[in-house]
Structure 1
Amino acid sequence: MHSALFLIEFGAITLALGLLGRLAGRLRFSPIPLYLLAGLAFGEGGLLPLGASEEFVAIGSEIGVILLLLMLGLEYTASDLVTNLKTQYPAGLVDMTFNALPGAVAALLMGWGPVAAVVLAGVTWISSSGVIAKVLGDLGRLGNRETPVILSILVLEDLAMAVYLPIITALLAGVGWAAGGLTLAIALGAAGLVLFIAVRFGRHISKFVSSDDPEKLLLVVLGLTILVAGLAQQLQVSAAVGAFLVGIALSGEVAENTHTLLSPLRDLFAAVFFVFFGLHTDPASIPPVLLPALLLAVVTACTKIATGYWAARRAGISVKGRWRAGGALVARGEFSIVIAGLAVTSGIEPRLGPLATAYVLILVIVGPLTARFVQPLAQRLFPQRAAAGVGAIPEPRAAEQPAQGDAKPDEQPDAKPGDKPAVLDEHSH
């Protein structure tokens, strides 16, 4: 009887997620808010509370986080990360300061304490590369000159997570300064070691993992990832960081084939993860935090726009491109929920989960709108400044042919054989 109830519940959840994903595809926006709403509907206080399948959904959500981070690591080579770290770190520092600080200040003003402040800082800091990549593709901006600036900021955020996640894992576990410092040292050492090995011996690792049989490749990569994630969690480093490092270590054809094989699994378990987060959020707890979430969303939307504008200006992009870069970075999504989910599980602050849910729901919907309308709106409000663009790379005219090596505004540059995708796909980050 229990088995039959489990199958009915889980089947209903999966079917509902499929239909919601189809609806989001037709409306051309991210399915993340619909998945969160589904979780609210299936959770305690919702319309159809779950019973038999909740434990399975919890395990599925852990796998979802691991696959999200693995696929994120597959998008980059170790050399990409090292290059971005060397050349774009000022933009990363500005991004962290402008967008983490409002979350930390908000948590302290609400009396949640320093640990919750560190968590909420991460929630407001990290943009959703999955939503951003989809929006850039829909708007035909993959080849725009400001797009590499956007991607560099996203890469630095992802790399920063390898340090940030172990810190909050240690803080939420309540370990002392000595144990926390040891955890961070292990995480940094592991990340540095993996980057070194990936740069020097990445081809050998990929050759070892590689297989012409998709079934064997899937089993080896999935087993290796879950094993490393489990070992990382055992060391209090974070399973997500372990999965991310495995993804970085794989490159070339293996990374491409793995990406193709695991994408459907990633999408399934990522959807289960968002549902699980919603299950642990009582819908009745959202209205009391809706105003703070809205205020925080407005502030951090402005700070993200300022971040993108500054970074694009530093890169010599024209004024129009600066506004487009800022507007594109507003959306929050997967990582914000991953970070908040860790806090919800630890139980440090009961209002943190509802606030994060409302915050992400607002910005995952507003983000595509800001990407589309910030630049034309700024052009109307500041016509003289938009027309100036002194010292900037000029926008190509429609009649011009781009120089060799450049891309048209609405085309993505050609990729070299074996390169990882230049733009992250949906559900990454």
Structure 2
Amino acid sequence: MTHLDPIISDLALILAVAGVTTLLFKWLKQPVVLGYIVAGFLCSGNFLLQGVSNMGNVDIWAEIGIIFLLFSLGLEFSFKKLMNVGGPALMTALVVIVGMMCSGFMAGRALGWTSTDSIFLGGMLSMSSTTIIIKAFDDLGLRSQKFTSLVFGVLVVEDLFAVVLMVMLSTLFVQRAVEHVVIAEQLFKLIFFLILWFVVGIYLIPTFLKKIRKFLNQETLLVISLGLCLIMVVLATYAGFSSALGAFIMGSILAGTVQAESIEKVIAPVKDLFGAVFFVSVGMLVEPAMLVQYIVPIVFLTVVVIVGQIFYGTLGFLVSGQNLKIALQSSFSLAQIGEFAFIIASLGLSMGVTSSFLYPVAVAVSVVTTFTTPFIIRLSDPAYHRINRLIPKRMKALLARYSAGSQTVNSEREWMSLLKKSLLNMFIYCVLLGGVVWISSSYYSPFVEERFEGFAGKLIATTTTILFMTPLLWGLAVRHLNRRLFVPLWNDPRFNHGLLVSLIVLRILLALMFVLTVVAHLSSYRWGALMAFAILLLLLALFWRRIKRGYLRFEQRFFTNLNEKDASTVVTTGNYRAKFLHMAKMTVSADSPLVGRCFRELDLRLRYGVTVVSVLRGSHRYNAPGASMVLMPSDEISVVGTDAQLSQFASKVEVPLSPVDREEATMQKFSVGEHSVLIGMTVSQFGMMCRGACLIIGIERSDGSYVRPLGLVRFQPYDMVWIAGDRETIEQVLVGTKPPVPKTEKKLVRRILRKK
């Protein structure tokens, strides 16, 4: 008897049960994530099913699932996207994260849990579920509403915070070290590697993909993208970080390439498969007896999530300048926890630092809040009308003035713009230079000094380190002064030039500080230090132009790759401050009544009040499409309008597909009898008789010769005819071609066909 490995039987059980439960939850119009968790309940062995035989294999699949989930999340995230979320979303996310972290920690302590359990609980409760919110918006038809863009901006920031939180928790609790110096060192190490990986990745990977673009198809793109993902996972693991961080970073790097959407499509089946196994494994770890035992904490934490998310979300949106209605609509959408709560809970459980009950409690709270999400979103409008009636008129006027003041167009002062950009560049260069100094002092200098003892080894290590730092030092002290902003301020006699001079001096002092840090260990060698400086000056004089030219080429390619995707896309309205207008993306359905009609004929501005600013068709994007452009199925259009206008227009564009109105075509053959009505009829006449419902594919004469079915070819007795069409029409044609009773034969055939 053939032996079947348990890994196959376990996978068969998991996928079979998951398939049934997901179909059930789709029929109930609930998120499939809940179906996976229920499948985990059933496969855990606590119910009627026997359960999986080897949980170790499931854990490996689940870890792969986390990697691919974070990789796909990174494909939807980029630094450009983070910069475009806007101030309101960023401020609201910070308020929600800090508020829910504190509330979760205090809730855990109130339940008598340990500090570690409470910290992990705060992290789990601080992030809403992107998957569940998107599903709820789609089901409720709210994707084109203005407040949804603010919600998605908050989710982007929360997802980024979740990745950083996972890294910090795994680093701190694995090493069992929480001293302030260790935390600062790990945080600097994290920031340095993040910037280094992004700089190197953005410089190399888009260029590599452009060079091999002509060889890319779905198969090669899938293999290459997953290979890059797993390579970054290995690098992140060797650097002391989690595998999920490496997957997220590689996804974020690829998100800026023109192949991002193609990569997202080809990896979707892989992500869905292993993601399903991960969520099934989540359900396997939940014991029914433990849920009954901890029913009170589950109910209590559910209330904390719903009330806390609504309160902190409303507060954050109001502080950021949104009106009361948008603040309530947005905050009511955030009242749940989801997939990151599972990941953080499984992280604590795998490291052995959290209690066993925390995982099933988090899953139970997520399940309850997932079920309540659509109902809570529907309650936002009634809640707004009730609160609007209850608050005093003076408070209404205050909120209206505050919202109007923050929504006005503010031309930011050039000095503040220059200061922000300079501080950002200074931060990035200081982190990179600090990383170079750390690597040199920890690894490179000891390696060189082992081979060249005494002053020679120190001199070689110091000189080569500073030479390597030279492009970064030049970029920090000189390069990024932003002449477009700096020169007008310098030429303005009313502006305080001392601020500009201070900014220049600060950049130079920071650069000198890094240089002195490297040469500090040569202080005992006075003449040696002077010699080192003399050698450095000589080398810089000889190679300065080459260094500068190389740095400028590096910078040009980096920014070209960074803006590669945006170069072919329309500028978004993330900073557009109109009070009601906003942009939404829609996909044209094949059954839309607008398909096949040009914009001139549609006259969208007059009929719907909306403006189509971009059309994405396949891999080609048409910005500001002309009046002669015709809408086609699967076109992705960017539309600007108000909530009401976009909702009305979406009902005409995103039309659900109707059932197929005709069965699939088939092919049959028949023989022309000696008394058939077809004898002497041409192929064209046969097509007119069938009203185009059937096609003649081929004709074989009685002598075995084959005749092409051209329009003037006539049927002869005993011809073998191949015909294509739907089965019912072909059968009616065959009935009509039999020898008829005496009367006008052709009229009888037409009468039979007319019944169809």
TM-score, scaled to structure 1 = 0.86
Query: Which whole-Å CA distance do the structure 2 matches of 1:209 and 1:184 have between them?
Result: 37
- CA positional deviation for 1:280: 2.2
- Greater CA deviation, 26-35 or 350-359? 26-35
Answer yes or no: is the 8 Å Cα contact 1:163–1:188 preserved in 2: no
Match of 1:283 in 2: 288
* Larger mean Cα displacement after TM superposition, 335-344 or 5-14: 5-14
2:115 aligns to what? 114
Residue pair 1:162, 1:191 contacting (<8 A) in 2 also: no
Match of 2:366 among 360, 363, 388: 360
Letter aligned with residue 340 of structure 2 = F
Residue 30 of structure 1 aligns with which residue? 31
Q: Which moved more, 1:19-28 or 1:4-13?
A: 4-13
In 1, Cα distance between equivalents of 2:301 and 2:110: 12
Q: 3-state DSSP class of the match of 2:259?
A: helix
Q: Is the 1:327–1:375 Cα contact (8 Å) retained in structure 2?
A: no
1:274 equivalent in alignment to 2:291: no
Post-superposition Cα deviations, 1:200-256, rounded to whole Å, max 9, x if no partner, equal 667425536755221111111112212222332343311111111101101243110
Are positions 1:227 and 2:231 aligned together?
Answer: yes
Q: Do the aligned partners of 1:40 and 1:279 also contact (CA within 8 Å) in 2?
A: yes
* Among candidates 365, 368, 376, match of residue 382 of structure 2: 376
What is the match of residue 214 of structure 1? 218
**1:85 shift after superposition:** 7.8
TM-superposed deviation, 1:163: 1.9
Q: Secondary structure at the match of 2:643?
A: coil
Q: Distance in 2 between matches of 1:200 and 1:212?
A: 20
Report if aligned partners of 2:42, 2:51 keep a CA contact under 8 Å in 1. Answer: no
Aligned residue number for residue 238 of structure 1? 242
Question: Hey, which of these two has a bigger chunk of helix by percent?
Answer: 1
130-139 or 111-120, which deviates more: 111-120
Contact persistence 2:87–2:320 (CA under 8 A): no
Distance 1:265 1:22 in 2: 19
Match of 2:189 among 186, 191, 196: 186
The residue correspondences of 1:91-130 to structure 2 (distance < 5 A) are 91-130=92-131
- Cα distance in 2 between the residues matched to 1:409 and 1:28: 25
For residues 147 and 319 of structure 2, the distance between their equivalents in structure 1, rounded to whole angstroms, comes to 11
Q: TM-score, normalised by structure 2?
A: 0.50
Which residue is equivalent to 1:420?
A: none
Amino acid at match of 1:48: L
Tell me the distance in 2 between the aligned counterparts of 1:85 and 1:3. Answer: 55
State the distance in 2 between where 1:45 and 1:174 align. 35
Unaligned runs of 5+ in 2: 405-578, 582-606, 614-638, 650-756
Cα gap change, 1:140/1:23 in structure 2, threshold over 3 Å: closer, same or farther? same
- In the TM superposition, residue 287 of structure 1 has moved relative to its aligned partner by 1.4
Out of 50-59 and 9-18, give the one that drifted further.
Answer: 50-59
- Distance in 1 of aligned mates of 2:42 and 2:77: 36
> In the alignment, residue 329 of structure 1 is paired with which amino acid?
L
Q: Which residue of 1 aligns with 2:333?
A: 328
The answer to whether structure 1 residue 339 and structure 2 residue 344 are counterparts is: yes
1:255 to 251, 254, 260: 260
Change (3 A) 1:376 1:87: closer
The Cα RMSD (Å) is 3.0
| Greater displacement, 193-202 / 322-331 | 193-202
Q: Distance in 1 between matches of 2:239 and 2:286?
A: 29
SS at match of 1:149: helix
Secondary structure of the residue aligned to 1:286 is helix
* Cα contact 2:44–2:52 (8 A) shared by 1: no
Report the Cα distance in structure 1 between the residues aligned to 2:170 and 2:56, rounded to whole angstroms. Answer: 22
Superimposed CA distance per residue, residues 267-299 of structure 1 (whole angstroms, 9 cap, x where no aligned partner): 121111111122222221111222212111112
The aligned amino acid for 1:379 is: H
- The change in CA–CA distance for 1:179 and 1:215 in structure 2 (over 3 A counts) is farther
1:139 matched to which residue of 2?
Answer: 140
* CA separation of 1:138 and 1:61: change in aligned 2, threshold 3 A: same
- Greater shift after overlay, 330-339 or 378-387? 378-387
**Whole-angstrom CA distance in 2 between matches of 1:237 and 1:44:** 34
Q: Which amino acid aligns with 2:640?
A: D
- Which SS does the other structure have where 1:3 is aligned? coil
C-alpha separation in 2, matches of 1:222 and 1:213: 14
Alignment match, 2:400: 390
Deviates more, 1:93-102 or 1:41-50: 41-50
Give deviations 1:339-385, integer Å, cap 9, x for gaps.
Answer: 00111222331111121111111111112221222322342454355
In structure 1, C-alpha distance between the alignment counterparts of 2:13 and 2:229, rounded to whole Å:
29
Aligned twin of 1:43: 44
Aligned-residue sequence identity (percent) comes to 25
1:67 and 2:68 aligned: yes
Distance 1:94 1:262 in 2: 34
CA change 1:48–1:171 in 2 (3 A) is farther
What is aligned with 1:78? 79
Letter in 2 for 1:33: L
Q: Could you say if the C-alpha distance between residues 209 and 68 of structure 1 is closer, same or farther in structure 2, counting changes exceeding 3 Å?
A: farther
Name the SS of the counterpart of 2:143 in structure 1.
Answer: coil
Aligned-partner SS, 1:176? coil
Structure 1: give runs of 5+ residues left out of the alignment.
415-429
Match of 1:157 in 2: 158
1:222–1:201: structure 2 CA closer, same or farther, 3 Å change rule?
closer
Structure-1 residue corresponding to 2:742? none
Give the Cα–Cα distance (whole angstroms) in 2 for the partners of residues 208 and 297 of structure 1: 52
Matching residue of 1:427: none
SS at match of 1:406: strand
How many residue pairs end up in the alignment? 411
Measure the CA separation in 1 of the matches of 2:160 and 2:5.
43
Equivalents in 2 of 1:280, 1:326: separation in Å? 31
Equivalent residues of 2:101, 2:125 under 8 A apart? yes
- Highest RCO, 1 vs 2 (Cα 8 Å, sep ≥ 6): 1
What code does the residue aligned with 1:353 have?
Y
Give the 3 Å change call, closer, same or farther, for CA 213–309 of structure 1 in structure 2. Answer: same
| Structure 1 residue 3, shift from structure 2 partner | 2.4
The 1-side partners of 2:208 and 2:608 are apart by 44
Aligned to 2:451: none
AA at the equivalent of 1:185:
F
Label 1:208 to 1:328 Cα distance change in 2 as closer, same or farther (>3 A): farther
